[in-house]
C-alpha cells in the first residue's frame, strides 16, 4: 500500500482526484496555506482515505475544503483531519460528503478534530452531508 502526500502551501492549491482504484493520502500543513480538494469515487468497490495533520504556529492561517463525491454505490471514503493550533493561528475547515442518486451502499466518514493551545487560536469547522434522492416518475392515469 502506498500513501501519497499532499502538502498545504501558502499558494492556494486545487487538487482533483478521481478514484478508480483504492487510494490513501496524507494531508500535511506546517506553514499555513489553502487547499481545495475534490475527490470523486467513480467505480464500485473502491476506497479513498485522507488523513490530515495541521500544525499552526504564530499567525499561520489555514483554509481547507474537502469534497468526497460518491458517484456510484459500494464505495468507501474516509476523511479525518486533525489540527493543533498555537498562538494566534487559525483554521477554517469545510468538509462535504456528496452522495449522488443511485450511489446506494455508499460508506462515507468525515471527521475534524482540533486542539487549541493558544488563547487566541481560532477554528471554524463545517462538516456537511448532501444526499441527492432518486427521482421517481409520477404516474398519471
The verdict on residue 139 lying in a domain is: no
The residue range of the domain holding 8 is 3-131
Single pTM value for the model: 0.91
Is residue 49 within 8 Å of 20, Cβ to Cβ? no
The verdict on residue 140 lying in a domain is: no
Rounded Cα–Cα distance for residues 51 and 94 (Å)? 15
**Residues 59-85: tens digit of each pLDDT:** 999 999 999 999 999 999 999 999 999
Is residue 118 within 8 Å of 86, Cβ to Cβ? yes
Query: Mean pLDDT for the chain?
Result: 94
Question: In the chain, which residues have pLDDT < 70?
Answer: 1, 136-141
The verdict on residue 48 lying in a domain is: yes
**Residues 81-99: tens digit of each pLDDT:** 999 999 999 999 999 999 9
Amino acid at each position: 500500500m502506498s500513501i501519497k502526500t499532499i502538502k498545504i502551501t501558502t499558494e492556494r492549491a486545487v487538487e482533483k482526484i478521481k478514484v478508480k482504484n483504492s487510494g490513501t493520502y496524507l494531508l500535511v500543513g506546517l506553514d499555513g496555506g489553502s487547499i481545495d480538494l475534490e475527490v470523486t469515487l467513480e467505480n464500485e468497490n473502491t476506497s479513498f482515505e485522507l488523513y490530515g495533520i495541521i500544525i499552526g504556529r504564530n499567525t499561520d492561517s489555514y483554509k481547507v475544503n474537502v469534497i468526497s463525491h460518491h458517484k456510484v454505490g459500494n464505495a468507501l471514503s474516509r476523511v479525518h483531519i486533525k489540527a493543533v493550533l498555537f498562538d494566534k493561528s487559525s483554521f477554517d475547515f469545510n468538509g462535504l460528503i456528496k452522495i449522488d442518486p443511485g450511489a446506494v451502499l455508499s460508506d462515507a466518514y468525515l471527521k475534524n478534530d482540533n486542539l487549541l493551545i493558544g488563547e487566541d487560536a481560532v477554528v471554524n469547522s463545517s462538516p456537511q452531508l448532501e444526499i441527492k434522492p432518486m427521482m421517481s416518475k409520477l404516474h398519471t392515469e
